[in-house]
Amino acid sequence: MTTPHTAPAGGTTPTRALVVSSAALFTDMLVHGLAVPVLPLLPSVVEVGPEATGILFSSYAAAMIIATLFAGRIVDRYGPRTPLLIGLVGLAAATLLFATGGPYWLLLVARLAQGIAGGMSWVAALSLIAATTPMEKRGQSMGIALSTITLGVLIGPPLAGFLVEHFGTASPFLFAAAVALADGVLRIVLVKDSPRVTDDTAGPLAVLKVPGSFSIVLAVAVGAAVLSGIEPVLPVHLGASSLTIGLLFGLAALASIIANPIVGRLVSTASPRLLVGAGVVAVTAALVVTGFATELWQTCIGMILLGASSALLLAPATTLISEQGYKSTPPTLGGSFALYNLAYAAGLAGGPLLTGISTGQWGFTSAMVITAAMLAVIGGAALARLPQAARQAE
């Protein structure tokens, strides 16, 4: 009999699990990023207005949250391989539907399919790591896999802008379909069996019950909402080309990539409340600057602040949520990262919905101010009971 982290001959090793999981998360967020500079500018989307555009963008995360609940049950019953393959089929279908360019209802179906695929893939990816990797190395492996999310977000928008400029609006999604195919080959070839988790059975609810976890959830949600919130409204507001829009969002993601290791080092010495508080201030400043910007360079400053704020909020939260998992009964890492993913998805859903409705009712500048105020309140609430890092509390 094999242990949860010892693969049988020809089975799934920890290295294979990490490669497949990282590729699955990267591909999902790459497709998400490819859609950013393209979907808001499609004629079928422009016609329906900012409110419906916000719904289109938030529907991905809403479907992801629902799929996550079912994915957990499927993983428990059949192991991670089945939802990985379900996610692959859903992602392939979504990319091909996006390539049609409309009508709006068909793009909404594609977005929902993408969200279902994401929910299945995210849960299965983390479960695969948990089932094959020893507990002492599990947190590091999950952290590496989750870091590929930012890589997908960084590459997606500028790549989509380049493809649209040279090959048309369908090209980013046809490219995404090819990437999904390559990702599918990895899932099929490297995951031969379907290992189960036997030493990490607690779910996200167990971690949420630990004092301070809800504050971390709020910080993660704000970190996700701040960038996703401007995705459906900024392209139309600027009226710029897809390449320019892609580069702007790539600039924000690049700022986050640069800031993440810096903030990561500070987590071990600075108070998480100080870092998250700085992130909340940066969120407010970024949205206000973007809302009142009249020149492209001013928008660039706003996007850089957005990327930095995301790092200030999410880097401490990632460390804290894993420590909360060790405090839960029973201890769990899988449950803590599942809670992180749910919080992240909630932010992805709430941000576009808030900005889309606000822009439709009161215009872009007012929407940015309203969003900044609401996220500042939520972020401030997160600071109230945010736990200290364990090494600081000792």
- Structural domain spans, the chain: 12-199, 200-394
Between 175-179, 187-191, 369-373, the lowest mean confidence (pLDDT) is in 187-191
Instruction: Return d(Cα 156, Cα 150) in angstroms, integer.
Output: 10
> Quick one: pLDDT at residue 192?
77
Which of the given ranges, 5-9, 80-84, 110-114, 141-145, has the highest pLDDT on average? 110-114
> Quick one: pLDDT at residue 4?
45
CA-to-CA dists, residue 117 to 62, 63, 85, 192, angstroms: 12, 9, 9, 20
Instruction: Return d(Cα 160, Cα 174) in angstroms, integer.
Output: 11
User: Residues 88-91: contacts with CB within 8 Å, 24+ apart?
Assistant: 88/117, 88/121, 88/180, 88/183, 88/184, 88/187, 89/117, 90/114, 90/116, 90/117, 90/120, 91/27, 91/28, 91/31, 91/117, 91/118, 91/121, 91/180, 91/183
> Quick one: pLDDT at residue 197?
66
Between 103-107, 179-183, 289-293, 317-321, the lowest mean confidence (pLDDT) is in 317-321
> Quick one: pLDDT at residue 6?
44
Between 18-22, 46-50, 319-323, 344-348, the lowest mean confidence (pLDDT) is in 319-323
Instruction: Return d(Cα 112, Cα 93) in angstroms, integer.
Output: 11
Q: Which backbone phi and psi does 240 adopt, to 5 degrees? A: -90, 175
Between 134-138, 347-351, 365-369, the lowest mean confidence (pLDDT) is in 134-138
Q: Could you report the per-residue pLDDT of 195-233, keeping only the tens digit for each?
A: 776 666 677 888 899 999 999 999 999 998 988 899 999
CA 374 to chain centroid, in Å, comes to 20
Instruction: Return d(Cα 225, Cα 370) in angstroms, integer.
Output: 13
pTM of the model: 0.85
Where does the pLDDT of residue 390 fall: very low under 50, low under 70, confident under 90, or very high at 90 and above? low
Q: Which residue has the tokens 């401490």?
A: 316
Instruction: Return d(Cα 350, Cα 229) in angstroms, integer.
Output: 8
Instruction: Return d(Cα 270, Cα 247) in angstroms, integer.
Output: 32
Task: Please state, for a pLDDT cut of 70, what percent of the chain lies above it.
Answer: 94
Sign of CA dihedral 219, 223, 228, 230: positive
Instruction: Return d(Cα 63, Cα 373) in angstroms, integer.
Output: 27
> Quick one: pLDDT at residue 198?
65
| Confidence check: pLDDT of 73 > 80 | no
Task: Supply 34's token pair.
Answer: 């490819």
Which of the given ranges, 130-134, 231-235, 330-334, has the highest pLDDT on average? 231-235
> Quick one: pLDDT at residue 199?
63
| Confidence check: pLDDT of 100 > 70 | yes
| Confidence check: pLDDT of 7 > 60 | no
| Confidence check: pLDDT of 5 > 60 | no
> Quick one: pLDDT at residue 389?
65
| Confidence check: pLDDT of 391 > 80 | no
Helix axes 81-98, 171-190, angle to 10 degrees: 170
> Quick one: pLDDT at residue 11?
65
| CB contact at 8 A, 369 and 389 | no
* CATH no., domain 200-394: 1.20.1250.20
Between 92-96, 199-203, 338-342, the lowest mean confidence (pLDDT) is in 199-203
Instruction: Return d(Cα 101, Cα 222) in angstroms, integer.
Output: 31
- The whole-chain average pLDDT of the chain stands at 86
Task: Supply 287's token pair.
Answer: 């949205």
> Quick one: pLDDT at residue 392?
47
* For range 297-316, the mean pLDDT: 92
> Quick one: pLDDT at residue 298?
96
* Angle in degrees, CA 97, 44, 355, rounded to 5: 100
Instruction: Return d(Cα 161, Cα 22) in angstroms, integer.
Output: 24
Quick check: do 12-199 and 200-394 share a fold? yes
Helix axes 81-98, 49-78, angle to 10 degrees: 160
Buried residues in 323-345 as b, exposed as e (16+ CB within 10 A): bbbebbeebbbbbbbbbbbbbbb
Q: Which CATH superfamily is domain 12-199 in?
A: MFS general substrate transporter like domains (1.20.1250.20)
Q: Could you report the per-residue pLDDT of 355-387, keeping only the tens digit for each?
A: 999 999 999 999 999 999 999 999 999 998 888
* For range 263-288, the mean pLDDT: 91
